[in-house]
Amino acid sequence: MKLHISNSGDIGKRCGWFLTFFLSLAVLLFIAMPGTVLAANIVVNSTVDLQPPVSADGYCTLREAIYNANTTSDTTGGDCAGGTGDDTITFDFSVPGTIDLGTYGALSINDSAGRLTTIDGESLGRVVITGGTNSQVFAVSGVVTLRNLIIQDSAKQPGISSNGTLTIENSTLSGNSGANGGGISNRGTIDIINSTLSGNQAVNGGGEFTTMVARLRSLTAHYPAT
């Protein structure tokens, strides 16, 4: 009778191969599962705002990035990463940048499938989004987080109107004006965290914000003198 003794190195190699195989199989099965959605990081590299956006010019604008997040696809000819699910939009600015929406109007965030869209300036003061005293800044009807942003100088409508689920974190809304609510008009659910509303004015409702359902955590609101 012959006794075969396996080399310990061979056993280790076989175990490593089987482990790699099963891990790869698990990843493939996870991706193939119905309802599995992977998140994308969409990086804005331009402060320009155009409507309609110019596709395939090498520049990813905030409006283009939001289009991709809304549609979970690439509508930009490769300028921005395609939206895939719970998407985060960030900014590749070497210096603080201002995006002026005064010519083409509000940015509409409206992923109706309930996926989360986050717009993150990464540090307060780095990204300013302005209505140019001629336009609203954001119209929200999905699940949205706005973080580390300065939102200012909307006109005719509040800086942000929302009938979705909105979180505002470490941000400032100032100098906005609207008919119903100056800084924010909320008809959905809103959570405001460590943020400042200042110098916003409205014809009707609260100058800083009007809301139906709100959770306020560390909110500073400065009401203009009347």
Residue-level pLDDT at 116: 96
State the average pLDDT for the chain: 83
- Considering the domain architecture, whether residues 128 and 25 belong to the same structural domain is answered as no
In a domain, 164, yes or no: yes
Using an 8 Å Cβ cutoff, are 64 and 79 in contact? yes
In a domain, 82, yes or no: yes
- Considering the domain architecture, whether residues 98 and 141 belong to the same structural domain is answered as yes
The span from the CA of 220 to the CA of 194, in Å, is 8
The span from the CA of 41 to the CA of 81, in Å, is 7
- Considering the domain architecture, whether residues 154 and 122 belong to the same structural domain is answered as yes
Give every CB contact of residue 196 below 8 A, 6+ residues apart in sequence. Answer: 171, 172, 173, 174, 219, 220, 221, 222
Q: What's the average model confidence in pLDDT over 114-139? A: 96
Model confidence at 60, in pLDDT bands (50, 70, 90)? very high
In a domain, 192, yes or no: yes
pTM, entire model: 0.80
Domain that holds residue 31: 7-36
Q: What's the average model confidence in pLDDT over 70-93? A: 95
- Considering the domain architecture, whether residues 55 and 109 belong to the same structural domain is answered as yes
- Considering the domain architecture, whether residues 46 and 15 belong to the same structural domain is answered as no
In a domain, 114, yes or no: yes
